[in-house]
C-alpha cells in the first residue's frame, strides 16, 4: 500500500480549565515523537474571555448563544501558509452545542480556507452529552468542504446525576478534587486523559497505511466512542423541544450581557436544575419501559452516532 503524505498536522482547540489541552497534548504525542510530522497547535481565543471558574450568572448567560450557535469575536490565528495534511478539531460542548469560541472559529473565513478538501478528526473532552453538538459539527465540516474521517470522545464516566453535581463543583470553583470529600473527582479521569495517546497511535498508524476509510472502525474497537442510548435520546429531545425554545425566549431581550435579559436568564437558571434533577430521571424511567420495544432503533442509533457519516449518507 502506498504511504500517504500526512506530515503537517493542525490541532485547533479551546480549553478553559486545561482539561482539553491536556487531552490534545497526549493525543499528539505519537506525532510529536516522529520526525515525519510537524504539529501546529492553534489555541482559539475569544476577544472577551468567558472566565474560569465560571460566575453563576455568566454560566447561564452563555446558554442562548451556545444553543443558537451565535459566534463571539475571536482573535485571529496566524497559521502560516494555512495548508495542512490533517486537521484535528478538538472541542468541548456547551449546552449540547460546540463551545461558543470553537464554533466561532468554524464560522470564520479562515475556516473556509483551511478545511477545504482536508481530512478532519474531531476530538471531544466533555461530560456526557455530545451527540447533538457532533451532528452540527459533522454538517459544518461538510459545508466547509472537509472530510471527517475520525471521532474520539473522552467523557466523564460517572453516573449522570453524580456527574452533574461534580462538574458544577469543578466549573464554579475550578477545583478537580472530591466535592465534600465523598463525591468522585469531577470531569474526565486522569487515566482517560493519559490514555488519549493510544488514539493518536491508532490515527497515525491508519493514516500511514492510507487506511482512513477504516479509521473510525478501529477507533470504535479501541473504545474511542461510546454511545449511551438513553443520554443520546434525551439530549435530542431536550435540545429540540426545550433548549431552542428557552434560547429564543431569552434572545428576544437582547444579546450577551444585555441587562434587559437578566430576568429571563435568572428564570432559566432556576428551571435548569429542576429539569435535570426532576424531569430527566422521569424520562429515564419511560426510556427503560419502552426500550424493549425499541431495540432495533436503539441499535441503529448506536451505530449511527458512533460513526462519522452524515445521516443523509448513512
When the beta carbons of 6 and 28 are compared against ligand FMN, the nearer one is: 28
Cis peptide bond upstream of 53, omega within 30: yes
Shortest distance, position 120 Cβ to ligand FMN, whole Å:
19
> If binding means CB under 6 A, how many residues of this protein chain bind ligand FMN?
19
Residue 164 or 215: which CB sits closer to ligand FMN?
164
Provide the β-strand partners of residue 122. 89, 151
Figure out which of the listed residues 11, 15, 103, 150 binds ligand FMN, where binding follows CB under 6 A.
15
> Which of 6, 10, 11, 17 touches ligand FMN (CB under 6 A)?
17
Half-sphere exposure of 102 (CA within 13 A, CB side): 28
Least gap, CB of 96 to ligand FMN (angstroms): 5
Site for ligand FMN in 259-288 (CB under 6 A): none
- DSSP labels for 220-250? HHTTS----HHHHHHHHHIIIIIIHHHHHHH
Q: For residues 153-172, which are near ligand FMN according to CB under 6 A?
A: 171
Handedness of CA 204, 210, 215, 218 (dihedral sign): negative
Q: Which of 27, 31, 37, 59 binds ligand FMN (CB under 6 A)?
A: 59
How many angstroms separate the CA atoms of 141 and 134, rounded? 10
**Helix 160-173 with 280-290: angle, nearest 10 deg:** 150
Q: In what order do the strands lie in the sheet with 86-91?
A: 38-43, 8-13, 86-91, 119-126, 147-155
Q: Which of the stretches 74-82, 93-101, 251-259, 262-270 binds ligand FMN when contact is defined by CB under 6 A?
A: 93-101
Strands 119-126 and 97-98: unpaired
Main-chain phi, psi angles of 6, to 5 degrees:
-145, 55
Q: Which span (91-99, 196-204, 217-225, 284-292) binds ligand FMN, by CB under 6 A?
A: 91-99
CB of 58 to ligand FMN, least distance (A): 9
CA-nearest of 68, 116, 54 to 96 is 68
Work out how close the CB of 300 gets to ligand FMN at its nearest, in angstroms, rounded to a whole number: 22
**Could you give the 3-state DSSP secondary structure of residue 115?**
helix
Please name the residue ranges forming H helices in the chain: 19-32, 56-61, 63-67, 100-106, 109-115, 131-143, 160-173, 190-194, 196-208, 212-221, 229-237, 244-251, 262-274, 280-290, 295-306
Interactions with ligand FMN, residue window 228-257 (CB under 6 A): none
C-alpha torsion angle, residues 103, 308, 90, 158 (rounded to 10):
100
In angstroms, what is the minimal distance from the CB of 59 to ligand FMN? Answer: 5
Site map 165..204 versus ligand FMN, x via CB under 6 A: ------x---------------------------------
Give yes or no for residue 16 binding ligand FMN (CB under 6 A). Answer: yes
Residues from 283 through 312 that contact ligand FMN (CB under 6 A): none
With CB under 6 A as the contact rule, the residue among 74, 77, 92, 102 that binds ligand FMN is 92
Give the residue closest to ligand FMN by C-beta. Answer: 17
Decide whether 185 or 294 has the Cβ nearer to ligand FMN: 185
Q: Name the site residues for ligand FMN (rule: CB under 6 A).
A: 15-17, 19-20, 59, 62, 92-96, 125-130, 171
Amino acid at each position: 500500500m502506498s504511504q500517504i503524505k500526512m506530515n503537517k498536522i493542525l490541532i485547533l482547540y479551546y480549553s478553559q480549565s486545561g482539561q482539553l489541552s491536556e487531552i490534545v497534548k497526549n493525543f499528539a504525542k505519537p506525532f510529536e515523537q516522529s520526525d515525519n510530522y510537524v504539529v501546529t497547535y492553534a489555541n482559539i481565543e475569544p476577544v472577551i474571555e468567558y472566565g474560569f471558574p465560571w460566575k453563576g450568572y455568566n454560566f447561564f448567560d452563555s446558554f442562548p448563544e451556545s444553543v443558537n450557535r451565535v459566534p463571539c469575536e475571536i482573535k485571529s490565528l496566524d497559521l502560516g501558509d494555512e495548508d495542512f495534511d490533517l486537521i484535528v478539531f478538538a472541542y468541548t460542548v456547551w449546552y449540547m452545542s460546540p463551545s461558543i469560541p470553537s464554533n466561532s472559529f468554524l464560522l470564520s473565513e479562515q475556516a473556509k480556507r483551511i478545511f477545504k478538501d482536508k481530512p478532519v478528526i474531531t476530538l471531544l473532552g466533555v461530560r456526557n452529552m455530545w451527540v447533538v453538538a457532533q451532528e452540527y459539527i459533522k454538517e459544518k465540516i461538510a459545508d466547509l468542504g472537509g472530510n471527517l474521517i475520525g471521532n474520539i470522545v473522552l467523557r466523564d464516566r460517572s453516573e449522570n446525576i453524580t456527574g452533574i453535581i461534580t462538574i458544577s463543583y469543578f466549573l464554579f470553583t475550578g477545583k478537580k478534587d472530591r466535592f465534600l470529600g465523598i463525591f468522585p473527582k469531577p470531569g474526565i479521569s486522569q487515566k482517560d486523559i493519559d490514555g488519549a495517546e493510544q488514539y493518536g497511535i491508532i490515527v497515525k498508524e491508519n493514516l500511514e497505511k492510507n487506511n482512513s476509510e477504516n479509521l473510525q472502525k478501529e477507533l470504535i474497537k479501541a473504545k474511542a466512542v461510546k454511545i449511551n442510548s438513553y443520554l443520546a435520546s434525551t439530549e435530542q429531545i431536550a435540545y429540540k423541544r426545550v433548549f431552542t425554545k428557552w434560547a429564543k425566549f431569552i434572545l428576544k431581550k437582547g444579546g450577551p450581557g444585555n441587562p434587559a435579559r437578566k430576568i429571563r436568564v435568572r428564570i432559566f437558571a432556576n428551571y435548569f436544575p429542576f429539569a435535570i434533577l426532576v424531569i430527566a430521571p422521569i424520562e429515564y424511567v419511560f426510556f427503560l419501559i419502552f426500550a424493549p420495544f425499541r431495540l432495533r432503533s436503539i441499535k441503529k442509533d448506536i451505530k449511527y452516532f458512533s460513526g462519522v457519516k452524515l445521516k443523509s449518507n448513512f
